[in-house]
A and B are shown apart, each in its own frame.
Chain A
Amino acid sequence: MRTTAPRCLDAGEAALVVEFGDSVDPAISAEVLALDAALRAAPLAGIVETVPTYRSLMIHYDPLALTRAALVAHVEALERAAQESAAPSVRWIIPCCYAPPHGEDLAAAGEALSLSPERIAELHSGADFRAYMYGFAPGWCYLGGLPSALAVPRRASPRGPTPRGAVLIGGGLSLIGADPMPTGWYVLGRTPERLFAPERDPSFFVEVGDALRFEPIDEATFRALEEKGARGEMIARRETTR
């Protein structure tokens, strides 16, 4: 239960930041996601779109259609009515190949964590994750729920571009990448699923706030699923949690 109300900060005259805290914390994230869900369930004319992050919700709005005061009042009313936290209603099962050649940085992460590569894969695929936010590039999805045994700091200097669909850890979080990018995180494996596929409908399917689990697959399964994905089919499985 929260003891203090969120802060409303201005990012210019067309964006309001509703800030619940200044750290990466499951309880803070849950409050952000609950407000985001409440706003999407009770949309207000003049709200353009919302961007949830670990600790705050940015509300882009048209100040000529919706005054700041009316927006803040709406947010405060939703806050008072909001559940303590909105539990995820959807869980995605994301296949992930931790085996060579895909677990590129398992050995390096194992050294940093004093764990065997097998144990890292076991801990990672046994964890319940939640999509905290997207950022960095389209389809790069940051996940909370990483077991503390896997909390490795980011690398001192970035590694080369990640493979497509990289599954990574760093800074106490996990992350699914989309297009290749250099990163300071560790690549534990790869998913044949694409969190962003512009030609597919929907282009994105994991919503911020959804639950996720990784399902270990071998290299042969990875190749078969990757071909399926290339035909535009969805690979991840959807489960309802309530």
Chain B
Amino acid sequence: MSARLILRAVGPGVTLQDAGRRGSLRFGVTPAGPMDARAFAAANLAAGAALGAAAIEVSLGGLELTAEGETIGLAIAGGEFDIRLDGAPLPFACALSLEPGARLTIRAGRSGAWCYVAIAGRIDLPPTLGSLATHTRSFMGGLEGRGLRAGDVLPLADIISPPRELLALEAPWLAASEEPIRAVLGPQADYFSQEAIGEFLSARWRVGQRSDRMAYRLEGGRLAHAKGHDIVSDGVALGAIQVPGDGAPLVLMADRQPTGGYPKIANVIGADIGRLAQRRPGEAFSFSTVSIEQAVAARRALGEAIGAGVRLRAVGGEISTELLLSANLIGGVADAYRPLDKE
């Protein structure tokens, strides 16, 4: 029997994501891709998969799965979720072997909003416009363009050998941090008064309940426009902080439309978008502004950290295994929005 994963229980908002769908933004196609590209990269590195390979993005709704056909190697990284193998707790970031019959359970844990289950192999589904990334609003990618649900079967190919033992995954860039989320002002900061920009930087913001893969709605302040809130549509980048007429900002995330018609006061930097994505509804944070040069330096530092690979350590054992996987990492790793070439 061919190798496959059987999804036994699936919460809302669980999807398949790869590095994202690029090259068709100009035709109105949403890039999609992982909410937290750092965790997505860590999971794929630990699984020994291609860096941009499709993985399961698990929401706070959780996931339960089993393997059929063969023992499958998996790696999990992201927020501090509650991970169990046949009821026994595992480290929240780990690499493991899932034998046929064993049940892996992932539930919302202490912190974090998303985690990734990467596969030591490849999910064998047909891509749409070159990508398996799911965008449910345009019915694209994944399984039939929809979120995953109980009973779904993911066929696997190119299986590589699973780890012989349970390994804890360590990656310095996954450490939680209370530092402000960094943003670059613009492109329409001139649509706001100095007072509004001051409030943007001083407010304690919370992620609103109605947040999803398209946008994180922020609560905790109202930003007044100086020049009206209706602009002629222009391009929208990942992390754009747009302010509609009611003054409550939205941060545009992986499932954003490529264009939009509200003024954008600032843009979250690439290195911090995954940190913001891991904030749960109700959790507070603040913004700080940085220059383009600082944003590029942070992006480079994250890319280099990911390029140095992840460390896998036998749980409870003496043996230390290090997996350092560095493909061509120039620039692209911190950018989930550019599919990486498999080398």
Contacts and interface: CB of A to CB of B under 8 A. Distances in A.
Interface of A: 9-15, 17, 19, 22-24, 48-58, 60, 62-65, 68, 133-141, 179, 196, 198, 203-204, 208
Contact of B331 (A65, A137, A198): A65
A141 B295 CA distance: 34
Nearest to A65: B331
A203 B130 CA distance: 11
26 contacts: A10-B184, A11-B240, A13-B270, A14-B270, A14-B335, A15-B267, A19-B187, A22-B232, A48-B22, A52-B26, A54-B234, A56-B234, A62-B332, A62-B335, A63-B295, A63-B296, A64-B296, A64-B303, A135-B233, A136-B28, A136-B259, A138-B138, A138-B140, A179-B138, A196-B27, A208-B26
B206 interface: no
Interface string B224-265: 000000011111111110000000000000000111000010
Contact of B267 (A11, A48, A64, A141): A11
Interface string B294-334: 01100110010000000000000000000000000011100
B186 A10 contact: yes
Contacts of B258: 51, 134-135
B288 to A, nearest CB: 14
- From DSSP, what is the main secondary structure of chain A's interface residues? loop
Contacts, number: 147
A5 B27 CA distance: 27
Interface in B258-297: 258-259, 264, 267-270, 292, 295-296
A48 B235 CA distance: 14
A15 B256 CA distance: 15
A63 B293 CA distance: 10
Given A60-B25, A62-B331, A138-B28, 7 more contacts: A12-B237, A13-B184, A13-B269, A56-B234, A135-B28, A138-B27, A140-B28
B257 A136 contact: yes
A53 B234 contact: yes
A53 B268 contact: no
